[in-house]
Chains A and B, each alone.
Chain A
Amino acid sequence: MNIMMLLEMANSVFADRVAFTNSDDGASITYQELFDSSGKAALTAQTSGSSHFAILDVNSLAMPVGLFGSAWAGLPFVPLNYRLTGSEIDALLARITPAYLVTQEDRATTYSDRSDITVVTRKQFLSQLIPVSEQADPWSMDPDDVAVLLFTSGTTGEPKAAVLRQKHMVSYILGSVEFASATEDEAALVCVPPYHIAGITAVLSSVYSGRRVVQLANFTADAWVELARSERITTAFVVPTMLARIVDSLEGQSSADMPHLASLSYGGGKMPLSVLERAMELFPETDFTNAYGLTETSSTISILGPEEHREAMTSDDFYVRRRLVSVGVPLPGVEIEIRDPDGKPLPADDSGEIYVRGEQVSGEYRGLGSLTDDEGWFPTRDRGYTDTEGYLFLEGRLDDVIVRGGENLSPGEIEDVLLQHEAVADVAVVGIPDEQWGEAVAAVIVLKQGKQATEDELQNWVKGEMRSSRVPQVINFKDELPYTATGKLLRREIRSELLGT
């Protein structure tokens, strides 16, 4: 098994189709060109004697060439977060040397003197300045070869290196994408960076289905809207913070005016219900899909599909309507179980840790081995529950659970209630140390423009909806909350700020 198989198959059917377009410079690459360039990239990287293929850059044509080229070469593909500081990047590079590194012009000089790094600029890499006269050997079909090494954001310590093997990536694509199912006029807009698992799987899904990818290197809502219209985008994936900005930028319009956009999927964080409802109004013809997954599971493991979105939106039944904030049901071939702290499976509606099992699930970190148990179950460290129909509801990270007087409180549940208040645009609920209770509930609120609400009013709002233990003891107001570029809420930062540290 090798992801190169996916490209080889697509190339055998769509050789002359455009595979990728970079919106920055308008450069495009066909399937045949992508296949040939990957072979050259493989040989070049192999010749350098490197053990890893790293890319430190925004999205560009070098991303798919690098991803497939490293699979051809049998080297792990390591996309690095270009938003990290120089010393953070150095620390990650030290873990993957000798490395072949593709990066931006201005960064390349930083590494040009290193003997353990073969550095090339994106431009050099794409024009293949290194002479290649021979063909690369056929790629390995060993399912256990490492395809991708992804460093986690490391919000709770040193970044971990998640290991995704060829079998995980190939299984995910075969299980979720129909080969050659896209027509020539289909195009996907990819605005997540290469170092995000969704940025990688978007490449693979699109290639296997034969869909053209339009890359947006630096996301802004205006650029996204303009590209979606000018490139007649038919499908796109966004993280919640991106959708919130897109919706904001369309403020005052009754429709997004994107009749070509057949499907819009979202995931990677909690989607505020108000944003989703507004988006569904603005994109009435578009199919919405909520995808839940982790890096360690090769992306999506459960989805709430378009029909379920529409049904939930228009239903009067509380339980059906509630599904709009669920992440749907597992993909075929993926099993999900909710377990208590002792590892015992829990019945429907009981909260606990989410466990997942399936061919696409890796659950492995370099140096730590696989965290899956003997039966293949991976503990996600996410907290949630399933309803009686099997719909999965997320309640946040286990580490974020607030323990107040021996009672486990889910920040997500309290956030949901606060978000329903008409003046609240965004909210984060965290636990802060408390002498009497061990931990106390604190909330940081972003108010909607032109709307007002006092601390008292919001406390009473929660009291009207939930048990009194859930009422935030402290409520602060801010202009915005801290998020990573890929839409993850930085709770640790919020907590530190609240504690004045």
Chain B
Amino acid sequence: MQLKTGARLKSTVCDAEVMVITAPDASAALTCGGAPMADAASDTEKGAIDEAHKLGVQIGKRYIDAAAKVEVLCIKPGEGSLALDGDTLLLKDTKKLPKSD
């Protein structure tokens, strides 16, 4: 599907939800727990998680692909791991900054 910046997506196999921070230019398959993610507002039946995609996602962490085409923020934690077109997304390194306001 064509991902949209700002969109809220949910896993169809676990409790995870993400917000898209950077969307790839072209259509791409974003999956969680091995199954395509769906619009958070849509009604979906929960399917079974793919054991090969069960590393989990943590709330407040950002995930990117190796080519930095996509970036998402985990807004609800879950058991599934995220992948773009089959490649597992990586935890983005963030620099700890001093408090400024």
Separation of A306 and B95 alpha carbons in the complex (Å): 15
B76 proximity list for chain A (CB < 8 A)? 12
Q: For the complex, count residues of B whose C-beta is within 8 A of A.
A: 22
B39: nearest residue on chain A (CB-CB)?
A: A141
Structural contact, A141 and B60, CB atoms closer than 8 A: no
Structural contact, A263 and B99, CB atoms closer than 8 A: yes
Separation of A2 and B5 alpha carbons in the complex (Å): 11
> If the complex has contacts A9-B75, A12-B76, A332-B95, are A176 and B60 also in contact, measured as CB distance less than 8 A?
no
Selected from B41, B59, B73, B101, the residue in CB contact (under 8 A) with A198 is B101
Selected from B6, B41, B59, B100, the residue in CB contact (under 8 A) with A303 is B100
Separation of A180 and B59 alpha carbons in the complex (Å): 9
A180 proximity list for chain B (CB < 8 A)? 59-60
Selected from A138, A178, A287, the residue in CB contact (under 8 A) with B96 is A178
**Which of B8, B94, B101 lies at the interface centre, i.e. has the most chain A CB atoms within 10 A of its CB?**
B101
Structural contact, B101 and A299, CB atoms closer than 8 A: yes
Main secondary structure of the interface of B (DSSP, over half): loop
Separation of A263 and B101 alpha carbons in the complex (Å): 10
Structural contact, B98 and A8, CB atoms closer than 8 A: no
Structural contact, A141 and B8, CB atoms closer than 8 A: yes
Interface string of B37-75 (1 = CB under 8 A from A): 000010000000000000000011110000000000101
A411 within 8 Å of B (CB atoms): no
B41 proximity list for chain A (CB < 8 A)? 138
Interface string of A284-319 (1 = CB under 8 A from B): 000101010000000110010110000000000000
Selected from B60, B61, B96, B100, the residue in CB contact (under 8 A) with A289 is B100
B30 within 8 Å of A (CB atoms): no
Separation of A381 and B21 alpha carbons in the complex (Å): 30
B7 within 8 Å of A (CB atoms): yes
Separation of A235 and B76 alpha carbons in the complex (Å): 28
A215 proximity list for chain B (CB < 8 A)? none
Structural contact, A205 and B101, CB atoms closer than 8 A: yes
B6 proximity list for chain A (CB < 8 A)? 1-2, 141-143, 166-167
Separation of A451 and B100 alpha carbons in the complex (Å): 35
Our count of residue pairs bridging A and B at CB distance below 8 angstroms stands at 77
Structural contact, A13 and B101, CB atoms closer than 8 A: no
A391 within 8 Å of B (CB atoms): no
Q: Which of B1-47 contact A (CB under 8 A)?
A: 5-8, 19, 21, 41
Separation of A8 and B60 alpha carbons in the complex (Å): 11
Separation of A177 and B99 alpha carbons in the complex (Å): 8
Task: Say how far B18's CB is from chain A's closest CB, in angstroms.
Answer: 11
Task: Say how far A256's CB is from chain B's closest CB, in angstroms.
Answer: 18
A331 within 8 Å of B (CB atoms): yes
Structural contact, B73 and A174, CB atoms closer than 8 A: yes
Structural contact, B73 and A235, CB atoms closer than 8 A: no
> If the complex has contacts A5-B19, A166-B6, are A289 and B98 also in contact, measured as CB distance less than 8 A?
yes
B98 proximity list for chain A (CB < 8 A)? 263, 265, 287, 289, 303, 305-306
Structural contact, B97 and A13, CB atoms closer than 8 A: no
Selected from B5, B62, B100, the residue in CB contact (under 8 A) with A176 is B100
Q: For the complex, count residues of A whose C-beta is within 8 A of B.
A: 39
B60 proximity list for chain A (CB < 8 A)? 9, 178-180
A240 within 8 Å of B (CB atoms): no
Separation of A289 and B21 alpha carbons in the complex (Å): 28
A205 proximity list for chain B (CB < 8 A)? 99-101
Separation of A206 and B21 alpha carbons in the complex (Å): 21
Selected from B19, B62, B99, the residue in CB contact (under 8 A) with A141 is B19
Separation of A62 and B91 alpha carbons in the complex (Å): 37
Separation of A174 and B7 alpha carbons in the complex (Å): 16
Separation of A303 and B94 alpha carbons in the complex (Å): 16
Separation of A338 and B21 alpha carbons in the complex (Å): 29
A68 within 8 Å of B (CB atoms): no
A246 within 8 Å of B (CB atoms): no
Task: Say how far B101's CB is from chain A's closest CB, in angstroms.
Answer: 5
B100: nearest residue on chain A (CB-CB)?
A: A291
> If the complex has contacts A8-B75, A138-B41, A332-B95, are A1 and B100 also in contact, measured as CB distance less than 8 A?
no
Separation of A2 and B7 alpha carbons in the complex (Å): 10
Task: Say how far B7's CB is from chain A's closest CB, in angstroms.
Answer: 6
A235: nearest residue on chain B (CB-CB)?
A: B99
Structural contact, A303 and B97, CB atoms closer than 8 A: yes
Separation of A17 and B93 alpha carbons in the complex (Å): 28
Structural contact, B19 and A291, CB atoms closer than 8 A: no
Separation of A9 and B59 alpha carbons in the complex (Å): 8
B73 proximity list for chain A (CB < 8 A)? 174
> If the complex has contacts A202-B101, A267-B100, A291-B101, are A178 and B8 also in contact, measured as CB distance less than 8 A?
no
| Residue ranges of B at the interface with A (Cβ–Cβ < 8 Å) | 5-8, 19, 21, 41, 59-62, 73, 75-76, 94-101
What are 28 A-to-B residue pairs whose CB atoms are below 8 Å?
A1-B6, A9-B75, A12-B76, A13-B59, A138-B41, A141-B7, A141-B8, A141-B19, A142-B6, A176-B100, A177-B97, A178-B60, A180-B59, A180-B60, A188-B99, A201-B101, A205-B99, A235-B99, A237-B100, A265-B98, A265-B99, A267-B100, A267-B101, A289-B99, A299-B100, A300-B100, A303-B100, A305-B97
Q: A188-B99, A201-B101, A267-B100 are in contact. List 14 more A-B contacts (CB 8 A).
A: A1-B19, A5-B19, A9-B59, A9-B60, A167-B5, A174-B21, A174-B62, A178-B96, A180-B60, A267-B101, A289-B98, A289-B100, A300-B100, A300-B101
